[in-house]
Amino acid sequence: MSFHTIVPAGGIGSRLWPLSRAARPKFLLDLGGEGASLLQRTVARLAPFAMSQTVVTGAAHAAAVREQVPTADILVEPSMRGTMPAIALAAELVRRRDPEAVVGSFAADHHIRDERAFGAALGSAIGAAEAGYVATIGIAPDSPSTAYGYIHAGNRLSAVAGIGEASGTGPVFDVREFVEKPDSARAARYLETGEFLWNAGIFVARASVLMEALERYHPEIAGPVRELAARWGDATLRAEAIEAFWKPLPVAVIDRAVAEPLSEDGGVVVVPADMGWSDIGDYESLARLLADAKGPRIAVDSPGSLSLASKPVAVVGIEGAVVVEMDDVVLVTTREAAQKVKEAREEAREAGLGSLL
Amino acid sequence: MSFHTIVPAGGIGSRLWPLSRAARPKFLLDLGGEGASLLQRTVARLAPFAMSQTVVTGAAHAAAVREQVPTADILVEPSMRGTMPAIALAAELVRRRDPEAVVGSFAADHHIRDERAFGAALGSAIGAAEAGYVATIGIAPDSPSTAYGYIHAGNRLSAVAGIGEASGTGPVFDVREFVEKPDSARAARYLETGEFLWNAGIFVARASVLMEALERYHPEIAGPVRELAARWGDATLRAEAIEAFWKPLPVAVIDRAVAEPLSEDGGVVVVPADMGWSDIGDYESLARLLADAKGPRIAVDSPGSLSLASKPVAVVGIEGAVVVEMDDVVLVTTREAAQKVKEAREEAREAGLGSLL
């Protein structure tokens, strides 16, 4: 088994401002309070499976990433073009070294509590990838969330050789379709059917299969990426090729560019996993992870509150309060209003508080 | 006119914790943001009228009071016995120097915006005091507050010589009764009638009249206070007299001990005043005073919020949020829950955070 990981590390996580900053994005933070950043935990979680690991990041964060995960290869994205070009470039570079390689892409800033369950699901996904599928790991939902896209699972593929229960890991299903973030009525129906899983953005496939699919659906991306990868090893050629091939690329995300059309063609499978997954997308999500451990020191009529501060915090009469006190700014909100924190970050920009971004 | 002020400076203001602390009580704070503490403003407001000013405070705060108001006499209360013994002792010390003196007692920690209106009301009150009444200044209510006691005003006393409109100051009414903090239905009725005023704890009277009234209703206080006052000038006698006369005194407040019974006997009058008064009793009250000036730097869906902090504060989705960030603690509450801040202070004590009290 030749398995290689690709970890795009890009998003700031602006709904977690001011914990997350442009200069210190979410993936570099130890949000779980475990003595390791989300990126470090991601790389450590994958280490037992991976022959190599590539973190794809922007020039601004390359040094911080190198410091946090010295064992990983750093692929500095020439400029932001979304996850599809980034993953394709990393996959093609792996494929050129090892044509049989299986690659898996994983978000740098998600949290997984049950690493054993993750490992089992990954084993199934790698098995399916070796059999020629693009495999994703879908999260068994525990609530009718409207914050995630969903994966509609179809028939069980236990018959596929070498994958599913046969290998002692877990069942694999074909993917009927990927669906966008639903409204709450639809999310409730999804939860009821038991056929829908949250899309955690995990994709596992042979590098060759991924590139062939990209060639089929988006030759305008696949072609230039191959050209650039072929010149990547030589600094001079690389610089020219970035100008010629990367700069003109459209922005594209892997879900839309490959996973969705390929699922319609029967090429995508999903491994359901119940592994204590969280994208820690906002303070509601962070509070679910931490509130018991990080409640305010003093709370009067304020159940479910979260406090991250350098000194004691007292909350009075606010259910699910969120208090984040940092060197240079204090944020106060509620778990219910957590989605709007992004707007506060925008207001800070407009108020001339650029140093807080 | 021989007018002397008495300013009891005692209460911590625990509903304004953690701004107010045991070691730095509310009256020492510049809550109005005017470059002067509430005590300093009180003394400055009274200075044009007063021949002498006495601040009555505990030993713990004597040094801070002396530093803040060096022109005032400091009367160190031997131990806490409530406002009645404190005011009586100060009044009797004044009376012994000047038998005709009028004294006025004023809270050290209230805020008055319109000093001209205050001066006019005080002029009327002093006039009524010279005519032999105990005069209070009642606040014209602008809402059906349940946070204050009320004064039920009766007949207008414009006929009394030398007081009321005759002196160009303002009308004076006799007091029917003092009523305790009402429930909200009753407070609404009070507001409707127009006959009820808030009790701001201001009492103006000849020192001799005050002591005679105390003698009548509470000889067990008046007698020992006179004995102590007679020995106050000599340090040795004073120490003995404190043991003999002060220590055994019951706790008593001037409203209950003198103002209420005397009002039933027709001896109390009230001067209504609309002078931008606030007791700044809690964060709701402080927010009413300051919110426009001290709103959070960044506010998303958080109208009417108040922020007192050493760095920018962002509030998201909390109407009337109150954020107080200090060196050693952060308090977050709402104007609606402001009354419960007291409980947070108690919880801090129970949580072993005694240094925050």
The mean pLDDT value for B67-94 works out to 96
Residue in B with minimal Cα distance to A346: B298
The mean pLDDT value for B10-16 works out to 92
Are B196 and B151 contacting, i.e. CB atoms less than 8 angstroms apart? yes
Dihedral, CA atoms, B85, B90, B91, B95, nearest 10 degrees? 130
Torsion angles phi and psi, residue A146, rounded to 5: -105, 10
Written as six digits, the tokens of B91 are 């009044």
* Candidate from A301, A311, A344 with C-beta closest to B314: A344
Q: 10 Å Cβ neighbour count for B201?
A: 20
Secondary-structure breakdown of chain A: helix, strand, coil percentages, each rounded to the nearest 5: 40, 25, 35
pLDDT (tens, 9 = 90+) of chain A, 357 residues, equals 799 999 999 888 999 999 999 999 999 999 988 999 999 999 999 999 999 999 999 999 999 999 999 999 999 999 999 999 999 999 999 999 999 999 999 999 999 999 999 999 999 999 999 999 999 999 999 999 998 999 999 999 865 545 544 454 578 999 999 999 999 999 999 999 999 999 999 999 999 999 999 999 999 999 999 999 999 999 999 999 999 999 999 999 999 999 999 999 999 999 999 999 999 999 999 999 987 789 999 999 999 999 999 999 999 999 999 999 999 999 999 999 999 999 999 999 999 999 999
The mean pLDDT value for B280-291 works out to 91
A332 and B323 in contact by Cβ < 8 A?
A: yes
A312 and B328 in contact by Cβ < 8 A?
A: yes
Distance from the Cα of B110 to chain A's closest Cα (Å) equals 24
A317 and B325 in contact by Cβ < 8 A?
A: no
Domains of chain A: 3-278 (3.90.550.10), 283-356 (no CATH)
Written as six digits, the tokens of A43 are 């790389």
Amino acid at position A47, single letter: A
C-alpha to C-alpha distance for A48 and A50, rounded to whole angstroms: 6
Cis peptide before B141 (omega within 30 of 0): no
Those residues whose C-beta lies under 8 Å from the C-beta of residue A344, and which sit 6 or more positions away, are A17, A331, A333, B298, B300, B314, B315, B316
Q: What is the ipTM of this complex?
A: 0.88
CA distances from B233 to A142, B69, B95, B242 (A): 78, 22, 14, 12
A311 and B330 in contact by Cβ < 8 A?
A: yes
Length of chain A: 357
C-alpha to C-alpha distance for A26 and A234, rounded to whole angstroms: 32
Amino acid at position A318, single letter: I
B314 and A343 in contact by Cβ < 8 A?
A: no
A182: closest CA among A149, A135, A229, A224? A149
Residues of chain B in contact with residue A347, where contact means CB-CB under 8 angstroms, are: 298-300, 314
pLDDT at A169: 58
pLDDT at B28: 97
Those residues whose C-beta lies under 8 Å from the C-beta of residue A96, and which sit 6 or more positions away, are A229, A230
pLDDT at A166: 43
pLDDT at B160: 53
A311 and B329 in contact by Cβ < 8 A?
A: yes
B342: closest CA among B59, B30, B11? B11
Residue in B with minimal Cα distance to A300: B344
C-alpha to C-alpha distance for A145 and A340, rounded to whole angstroms: 17
B207: closest CA among B92, B127, B75? B92
pLDDT at A33: 87
pLDDT tens string B296-348: 999 999 999 999 999 999 999 999 999 999 999 999 999 999 999 999 999 99
C-alpha to C-alpha distance for B208 and B279, rounded to whole angstroms: 29
pTM: 0.88
Residues 65-84 of B with CB under 8 A from A: none
C-alpha to C-alpha distance for A237 and A245, rounded to whole angstroms: 11
**At residue B216, does pLDDT exceed 50?**
yes
Q: 10 Å Cβ neighbour count for A122?
A: 29
Residues 243-302 of B with CB under 8 A from A: 296-301
Query: Would residue B280 be called left, alpha or beta, if left means φ above 0 and alpha means ψ between -120 and 50 degrees?
Result: left
Written as six digits, the tokens of A320 are 């699910």
Residues of chain B in contact with residue A294, where contact means CB-CB under 8 angstroms, are: none
Residues of chain A in contact with residue B330, where contact means CB-CB under 8 angstroms, are: 309, 311-314, 323, 325, 330
